[in-house]
Structure 1
Amino acid sequence: MKALLATALLSLFIAAPTYAGNWPGWRGPNSNGVAEGSGYPVEWDSSKNILWEVKFPGPSGSTPVIWGDDLFLTTNSEGKNRVICLDKNTGKEKWHTDFGTERAGKHKKGSGSSPSPAVDDQFIFGYFKSGDLACLTKEGKIVWQKNLQKEYGEDTLWWDLGTSPVLTDNLVVIACIQSDNSYIAAFDKATGKEVWKQSRNLDAPKEANQSYTTPVVAKQNGKEIIYVLGADHVTAHDAQNGKEIWRVGGLNPTQHEYFRSISSPVISDGYLIAPYARGGSLTGIKLGGQGDVTKSNVVWTKEGEGKGAFSDVPTPAAINGRFYVCSDKGEVLCFDIKTGKQIWEGRLPRSRHKFSASPILADGHIYVTREDGTTMVVEQGDEFKLVSENPLEGMALATPVFSDGKIYLKMTDKLYCLGNK
């Protein structure tokens, strides 16, 4: 009897939800689209599993971030750039801080606040299309601010700035890959002082030299490295000084014009996956080396049947030797990260709406949110299996955020908190 009771208690313990709270950047705690913890809801609608919802000034396409009990989001209001802090448990606003002048979006899905914020244990960093970059305390006080376009030159992107800031141990880093004067710049988190600025002008055709991707910071042998995708190349940079360590070219072998890049790279298991060619290609790159490692480090390349076969806007997610892609039209694909071999493929329910949000892997499921606010949940297993289809009202461009068993789903003008109840 005691043995049976012990077994039952152990089973309950194993099945119990585990929680992990911080979500410091738009791709999660490890920048790979993977949520920590378990117990997240897999079903909801307007009358089920909504814990709270709040509206905010919009439109805003950025993804929120979380540290502790604070949720931070960026938007624009009354012609200003705004950072808002909410209590993640109640949705109640704690404070908001305005700075700089809003620069409105051009595209129908664009806005002045497409870049997502970044947060660590001390500061919150907001970056906007206007070029304004600011560091705030957790109480909303501006520590420092600067306008990168006034300091380094005007934005020459054809569309709306979407690159988000990323953090190293000591620096906040911005990549600006555009028609000319492309660079990566790093600033001291506490003071805003420029620590280094590295030119990144590479030979790429018209508009292919423009990138809306966000860099990835990862450690290799204890050393922080910044990986940047854009202008037909992937480059790896030493986080301490910005110097290029290696590069991979050949992402646009036909020198096609207009191959601007939106989907960002993802790193897992010693490999970097580079989506490119407006969703027409995927490239698997082994990390390491020096100089031009195109021939030695490109392990595999997959060419889709035309543009959009893979991912143009959503960024892949990766873990445990596999990576997952959601195409703009709702094809979900699973690949082996080391070989590029396709493991399975499935089609989400058809709709005239596309996908801009990136997939998140959580507790054995894949969460993918369509622009009409509907989130599909798919199993991560060895075959495609749709678990649920969950509609909500709103336009969804931001990627879902997972924290302490709850999902935070941001529309362009409102935020939902979802949880099992």
Structure 2
Amino acid sequence: MKALLATLTLSLLLSSTTFAGNWPGWRGPTSNGVAEGSGYPVSWNSNKNILWEVAFPGVSGSTPVIWGDDLFLTTATDEKNEVLCLNKNSGKKKWTTEFGTARAGKHKKGSGSSPSPVVDDQFVFAYFKSGDLACLNREGKIVWQKNLQKTYGEDTLWWDLGTSPVLTNNLVVIACMQSDNSYIVAFDKATGKEVWKQDRNLDAPEEASQSYSTPVVVNQDGKEIIYVLGADHVTAHDAQTGKQIWQVGGLNPTQHKYFRSISSPVVSDGYLIAPYARGGSLTGIKLGGSGDVTKSHVAWTIEEENEFTDVPTPAAINGRFYVCSDKKGSVLCFDVKTGKKIWGDRLPRNSNKFSASPILADGHIYVTREDGTTFVLEQGDQFKLVSENPLEGFALATPIFSDGKIYLKMTDKIYCIGKK
């Protein structure tokens, strides 16, 4: 286990160095909600520390990404899926690329562009509710595109597509978990050629078989592993072949019909944390093993109805993980290895919920409420609220952090927040 922890720590450090200043995917450079660097503001409002504000067309719940000086975001108008590129320092639009035919959202918080894009030093990948997946170069030219629903079957989710694409060293990977015909598929980044497709049809009842969560890619002992949460299970897959390495079941012991999952897993310190049961449970799983490791590798489970997280994905660092309770408006801190609660309390009461995921930056915790208010807390040994920062807008996207600035996207505009 010590060797595994050392490898994971080294992997995170190497990833942090590689992506210095970048925010390549919706959970940040190490996929666990942790921002690099320091100097991020902890206080702002419409008249303070707003460096720029830019509106965009359509309605969008996706989280932006950053590489270098480029900020990429997705949206969908009445007709087209769109990828926009802005200069992160000025907010000036560099280009817009349209492709596919947009599909409207069903839920009041939904849209055709809930999945977040992902970027590396060469390409930007964008995925939409319509099933359209495209690879663009950094200048906005489409390198390749395809429609997963036309290729593999129609979307049978009851609500709006939410899972985001993730990257391995050479592949872009998407998990499709629905009532039937569930699968994970990987394409060559440069060509779009299908490299592998792995069925993932597990024994979960009705809506519990559906998932809106995003996989996590971790470099473990020099080998990339993809972890997927959904359909009452966590599965681990070889990133180069898609072959399942292990699985953990039992996340829905009562076989509840409607335990669809939205919150994604987080990996830290040799453990995977799986939020489940619509905010009713958290499960800690030791990494490693093969086959069905439910009995041997589930380290702890804590259950309490509506206490934890249904939508926001936890953030983790230094043996602790942090949860934002979307229904109760609480922020809680737990020990990764034991599941023991270290602290937790409610934020100021409000009828609005939390959809954005928490971010850990420079010793603070940032959580954004749907009414555009961001709360900043300390990462210390007790619940301590530092500031409450209101902005106009409806916030579903998670804030992203780069070079001392915070980018907070509403459904129709984006703010750049920095110290003036």
Which bin holds the TM-score, normalised by the shorter protein? over 0.9
DSSP-derived class of the 2:296 partner: helix
1:201-220 equivalent positions in 2, closer than 5 A: 201-220=201-220
Distance in 1 (alpha carbons) for counterparts of 2:181 and 2:246 = 20
Distance in 1 (alpha carbons) for counterparts of 2:245 and 2:237 = 5
Pick from 322, 325, 349 the counterpart of residue 324 of structure 1: 322
1:281-320 equivalent positions in 2, closer than 5 A: 281-304=281-304, 306=305, 308-320=306-318
Aligned residue for 2:123? 123
DSSP-derived class of the 2:339 partner: coil
| Deviation beyond 2 Å, 4+ runs, structure 1 | none
Distance in 2 (alpha carbons) for counterparts of 1:79 and 1:35 = 35
Distance in 1 (alpha carbons) for counterparts of 2:286 and 2:146 = 36
Residue identity opposite 1:296 in structure 2:
S
1:133-148 equivalent positions in 2, closer than 5 A: 133-148=133-148
Aligned residue for 1:44? 44
Aligned residue for 1:255? 255
Distance in 1 (alpha carbons) for counterparts of 2:181 and 2:349 = 41
CA displacement at 1:239 relative to structure 2: 0.3
Distance in 1 (alpha carbons) for counterparts of 2:372 and 2:20 = 25
> Is 1:408 matched with 2:399?
no
Residue identity opposite 2:294 in structure 1:
T
TM-score (norm 1): 0.95
CA displacement at 1:38 relative to structure 2: 0.3
Aligned residue for 2:350? 351
Deviation string 1:174-231 (CA, Å, 9 cap, x unpaired) is 0000000000000000000000000000000110000000000001101000000000
CA displacement at 1:330 relative to structure 2: 1.1
Distance in 2 (alpha carbons) for counterparts of 1:23 and 1:165 = 14
CA displacement at 1:77 relative to structure 2: 2.4
- In the alignment of these two chains, the number of paired residues is 401
CA displacement at 1:20 relative to structure 2: 4.2
Aligned residue for 1:381? 380
Deviation string 1:323-354 (CA, Å, 9 cap, x unpaired) is 00000031100000000010000111110000
Aligned residue for 1:21? 21
Are 2:213 and 2:264, in contact at CA under 8 Å, matched by a contact in 1?
A: yes
Residue identity opposite 1:250 in structure 2:
G
Identity of aligned residues (%): 84
CA displacement at 1:21 relative to structure 2: 1.3
> Is 1:341 matched with 2:340?
yes
Aligned residue for 2:3? none
1:152-301 equivalent positions in 2, closer than 5 A: 152-301=152-301
> Is 1:366 matched with 2:352?
no
Distance in 2 (alpha carbons) for counterparts of 1:237 and 1:296 = 18
Distance in 2 (alpha carbons) for counterparts of 1:258 and 1:347 = 27
TM-score (norm 2): 0.95
Distance in 2 (alpha carbons) for counterparts of 1:110 and 1:163 = 13
Aligned residue for 2:85? 85
Residue identity opposite 1:416 in structure 2:
Y
Are 2:59 and 2:77, in contact at CA under 8 Å, matched by a contact in 1?
A: no
Residue identity opposite 2:354 in structure 1:
F
> Is 1:67 matched with 2:54?
no
Distance in 2 (alpha carbons) for counterparts of 1:69 and 1:108 = 33
Aligned-residue CA RMSD (Å): 0.7
Residue identity opposite 2:118 in structure 1:
A
Deviation string 1:111-168 (CA, Å, 9 cap, x unpaired) is 0000000000000000000000000000000000000000000000000000000000
Are 2:78 and 2:104, in contact at CA under 8 Å, matched by a contact in 1?
A: no
Residue identity opposite 2:312 in structure 1:
P
Residue identity opposite 1:86 in structure 2:
L
Deviation string 1:333-391 (CA, Å, 9 cap, x unpaired) is 00000000100001111100000000000000000000000000000000000000000
Distance in 1 (alpha carbons) for counterparts of 2:417 and 2:230 = 35
Aligned residue for 1:100? 100
DSSP-derived class of the 1:198 partner: strand
Aligned residue for 2:110? 110
CA displacement at 1:58 relative to structure 2: 2.1
DSSP-derived class of the 1:235 partner: strand
DSSP-derived class of the 1:149 partner: helix
Stretch of structure 1 that moved more, 405-414 or 73-82: 73-82
Are 2:178 and 2:211, in contact at CA under 8 Å, matched by a contact in 1?
A: yes
Residue identity opposite 1:214 in structure 2:
T
Distance in 2 (alpha carbons) for counterparts of 1:359 and 1:371 = 13
DSSP-derived class of the 1:207 partner: helix
Distance in 2 (alpha carbons) for counterparts of 1:407 and 1:240 = 34
Deviation string 1:375-415 (CA, Å, 9 cap, x unpaired) is 00000000000000000000000000000000000000000
Are 2:358 and 2:365, in contact at CA under 8 Å, matched by a contact in 1?
A: yes
DSSP-derived class of the 2:406 partner: strand
Distance in 2 (alpha carbons) for counterparts of 1:20 and 1:406 = 14
Residue identity opposite 1:347 in structure 2:
R
Distance in 2 (alpha carbons) for counterparts of 1:46 and 1:20 = 29
CA displacement at 1:78 relative to structure 2: 4.2
Distance in 1 (alpha carbons) for counterparts of 2:403 and 2:316 = 21
